[in-house]
Amino acid sequence: MVTQVNLRAYWRFLVVIRQFFPLIVAYTRDRRKYILFGGGRSVGTETQLERAEMLLETLLTLGPTFIKLGQLLSTRPDILPPEYVDVLSSLQDDVPPAPWDESQVVIEDELGPVDEAFDDFDRDPISGASLGQVYTAEYEGDPVAVKVRRPGIEALVEADLRVVRWSLPIVRRFIGQGRAFSLENLSDEFAKTIRQEMDYSREKRILQEIKANFADNERILIPEPIDDRSGPRVLTMEYLPGTKINDIETLDRKGIDRTELATTLQRVYLQMIVDDGVFHADPHPGNLAVTDGGKIIFYDFGMSGTVDSFIQDKIIDFYLAVANQDIDAILDTLIEMGTLSPSADRQVMGDVMELAIADARGEDIEQYRVQQIIEQVESTIYEFPLRLPRNLALILRVATVVEGVCVTLDPDFDFISVATDYLQEEGYYEETARQLIQEGGQQLQQTSRALFEVPPKLNRTLDRVENGNLSVNVRLEDENDVLDRLARRIVYGLFVAVGALSTAILYAFEGTSVLPAAVAAVLTLPPLFALYRSFRRKRGIRAKPQFTRQSMRDRRE
């Protein structure tokens, strides 16, 4: 039986295909210049940017679900080229508010009559987003902010999620194998993310958890949720007004130290990610404000993330490696986190990291910023067949957005210096030193044991060689299926040779009829065609240098 959601999904699928049709045609012509035949086309940076802008407009036209999809894709440099990531990073979750009578239905379904639930309620929203909008009200004499889920958004999102899932096979046809691998779980990941963001009960729990983690920090403010005026579709919380964090003129007029603000913001996010394991994942300036006393206010915890202890340890290792300019340690950490393929060329990747750090230093050798390093890593991630874990992608995005806000507050802000000071104060340098000492002791112990174990084992092995009892098992790695292709060519060649010989013999001895020879010739054609195709396939991996200093500078420009 076809449900209403499926009917809506079928209609939305047609709408989505129509909106994406110009891009589908363009990507098809990249593979076949004349759609059905012809060679491929090379696409320059300018064309990529034009297509990224077209994609941005398409996502905005398709509405809330696809706006959120664009925001998610802006955190996935392992799927999209850098030009697309840059354009989609500017995607703002800002849409016209829904009519009051529709929002009123949602509030009253959750809390009862509006005028009974609140002392006073302003019917004009102060902000509107794709999934919800915020109103101001008064409850028990105190000002509150009421976040209301957009009316009817659940059915639209569920239909669009089906469309996204149905569209993945089409998308895979236009991307490389490495990025197709990253797309496998994108649909489920996106569905989980957007459903979580629509669940205001979950947002309230996250808000309370992060608020408790910073209970002793007097430099930040997180609104207090009001339990008896909240539900899955309505979240009521303390109203905390402030100056937008990127309103530099107002901050200066109020005499607020912007460098201290930037330092506080960076340290707060380091604590969330490195220590607490749960973090506010949408730190754009619209969700950050500053009180007249210089405290930072955090809004909107709908987009949040968690970090397990293993990733926390690896992030610490990464920060320490960058601070120490230890290229090998940086690469090892990226491999351990699952970001960099173990088979990647370490020399090439090392050159990338060295150039990124050198470019980021500027005139002062001690001044270099993590955002510039991340930009180079993002480009590298796109070029190599890698997979970026979701929460790690979210952390990557958070780090770049936070650093951007910090640099807006203080153009000379040193991200690495703040991170290094934080890690030192929290004792991570000492902990790392202790781990190195322990590992060194274990290695020394293993080496000492080997001094006693190796000679007897070597002696037994030499005895087996002398007696002719030594056997060696060899496993040949054939990731590119070279042996398989060679075997098929041999088989095809044998069939062609037998067919040609049979045709010649039949033609020579069947003087009265050429039909048997013709039949033999026809039967020989399929293996001949298969043999021809096996030699027409691309040989090896064609690559071009991607990481020269000039090309990296061109990308940043």
Q: What is the per-residue pLDDT across 345-365, written as a single tens digit (0 to 9) for each?
A: 777 677 767 766 665 544 343
**Measured distance CA(365)–CA(517) in Å, rounded:** 80
Question: Tell me, what's the pLDDT at 113?
Answer: 94
pLDDT at residue 378 above 80?
A: no
Question: Tell me, what's the pLDDT at 477?
Answer: 58
**282 has catalytic annotation:** yes
370 Cβ partners below 8 Å, 6+ apart? 322, 399, 403, 415, 416, 419
- Three-state DSSP at 345 gives coil
Compare 290 and 183 and report the one with higher pLDDT: 290
Mean pLDDT, the chain, whole residue set: 77
Question: Tell me, what's the pLDDT at 363?
Answer: 39
**Measured distance CA(94)–CA(63) in Å, rounded:** 11
Question: Tell me, what's the pLDDT at 33?
Answer: 66
What is the pLDDT confidence band of residue 478, given thresholds at 50, 70 and 90? low
DSSP letters of 362-422? Answer: -SSTT---HHHHHHHHHHHHHHTT----HHHHHHHHHHHHHHHHHHHH-TT--HHHHHHHH
What is the pLDDT confidence band of residue 520, given thresholds at 50, 70 and 90? confident
Residue with tokens 């194998």: 177
Q: What's the whole-number mean pLDDT along residues 418-433? A: 75
Question: Tell me, what's the pLDDT at 453?
Answer: 54
Q: Are 156 and 65 in contact (CB under 8 A)?
A: yes
49 Cβ partners below 8 Å, 6+ apart? 83, 87
- Three-state DSSP at 297 gives strand
Question: Tell me, what's the pLDDT at 551?
Answer: 39
| 338: its two tokens | 């699952």
| 225: its two tokens | 């949720």
In sequence order, the β-bridge partners of residue 238 are: 144
Residues 154-194: pLDDT tens digits?
A: 888 988 988 888 887 777 766 655 555 556 666 777 888 88
pLDDT at residue 1 above 50?
A: no
Query: 390-409 vs 370-383: helix axis angle to the nearest 10?
Result: 150
Catalytic residue among 282, 300, 317, 414: 282
Give CA angle at 91 (90, 96), nearest 5°: 135
pLDDT at residue 297 above 80?
A: yes
Q: What's the whole-number mean pLDDT along residues 275-284? A: 89
Q: What's the whole-number mean pLDDT along residues 38-51? A: 79
Question: Tell me, what's the pLDDT at 85?
Answer: 80
The number of C-alpha atoms within 13 Å of 88 and in the hemisphere containing its C-beta is 26
Q: What's the whole-number mean pLDDT along residues 235-254? A: 93
pLDDT at residue 208 above 90?
A: yes
Count of other CB atoms within 10 angstroms of residue 532: 11
Identity of residue 365: I
Compare 251 and 421 and report the one with higher pLDDT: 251
Most confident option among 12-26, 294-308, 480-494:
294-308
Q: What's the whole-number mean pLDDT along residues 370-378? A: 54
Compare 64 and 230 and report the one with higher pLDDT: 230
Q: What are phi and psi of 367, to 5 degrees?
A: -100, 105
| 121: its two tokens | 């309620």
Q: What's the whole-number mean pLDDT along residues 20-28? A: 81
**Measured distance CA(546)–CA(134) in Å, rounded:** 46
pLDDT at residue 420 above 70?
A: yes
Q: Residue 195: in which H helix or E strand, if any?
A: helix 186-198
Q: What's the whole-number mean pLDDT along residues 2-28? A: 79
Q: What's the whole-number mean pLDDT along residues 380-395? A: 61
Sign (positive/negative) of CA torsion 455, 458, 464, 468? negative
Question: Tell me, what's the pLDDT at 231?
Answer: 92
Count of other CB atoms within 10 angstroms of residue 363: 5
Residue with tokens 């040779």: 497
- If you ran DSSP here, which 8-state letter would residue 3 be given? -
Q: What are phi and psi of 146, to 5 degrees?
A: -120, 115
